[in-house]
Amino acid sequence: MSKISQNKCGSHLNINVASGMEVLPNFINLDNSPFLIFACFFGWLSFLLSEKYRSKLSKFSQAITNKQIRIHNCKKRLPFYPGSVDHILCSHFLEHVYFSEVDNILADFYLALRVGGTVHIVVPDLNCLIYDYTNADGSVDPLVANSFVESLILSSKNPPKLMFRVLDFFGSFGLNHKWMYTKSSIAEKIQNAGFVLDDSSGKESFPSLNFRRNDGSIHIFAIKN
C-alpha cells in the first residue's frame, strides 16, 4: 500500500474521510467518487450531462486542480502510517457501508491515529426520523409512511436511472444507505473499536468541532488513549 506523504497542515495531520464536496481547508480530503475520475475529462463530458451532474463535476474538477482532494477508496485502509494521524473527520459515510464493514473501518481509524489522536464521526440520526414519523398523522395521510421510507434512503420507489446505475457500478457510496444509527448504536461501535468517548468540554479542541452543526445529525467525538 503506497502511503500519502505526511503533508501536515501546520504541525497536525487532519484527515477528512469520504469528504465528497465538503472539502475542508487544513485537512487532507479523501474521496472515491466516480466524479473525481470523470472530472479529469470535464471539458469533454460537461455538454453530455444535466446541470445537476455538470455542477458536481465542475466542483470536483476545481478541487483536483487546487489539490484539495485526493482519490482514495475510503472503505480500504487509510494510506497513512500507523500512529501518524492527529485527527479524523468521517461525516455521512458510515451509513453508506454495510454494518459489519464499519467495524473494520473504525479499527483502521484507530490504527492510523496517534495516541491522544481524535475522531469525529457524523451520521444521520434515526431517532429524529422516527420522531418526525411518529408525530405525523399517518392514520390520516398514507403519504406519511412513504415519506418516512424515502427519508431512510434504503431504497427508491422506481428502478434506478442509467446515471445511477453507472455511478453504482463505479463504486459511488453516496447513493443509498446500508444501515441507520441512533446515537447509542453508533457510539457502541466506536467504543468497541477501542476509542474513549469525549462528551466533555475537551472536544472544543477538535479541529472539526463546528462541522455540520445543528443539521439534525449525530456527532460523536472520541479519543484514542
List Cα–Cα distances, 52 to 47, 56, 93, in angstroms: 12, 7, 21
Say whether pLDDT at 90 is over 50.
yes
C-beta of residue 137 within 8 angstroms of C-beta of residue 105: no
pTM over 0.85: no
Q: What does the pLDDT look like over 53-73, one tens digit per residue?
A: 666 666 666 666 566 788 899
Write down the mean pLDDT value for the chain: 83
The pLDDT, as a whole number, for residue 128 is 93
Q: Which residue has the cell 431512510?
A: 152
d(CA 123, CA 126): 9
d(CA 52, CA 125): 27
| Domains of the chain, residue spans | 14-32+72-223
Closest CA to 96 of 120, 74, 112, 79: 74
Count CA atoms within 13 Å of residue 62 on its CB side: 9
d(CA 199, CA 21): 28
Q: Does domain 14-32+72-223 have CATH number 3.30.200?
A: no
Q: What does the pLDDT look like over 29-40, one tens digit per residue?
A: 999 877 676 655
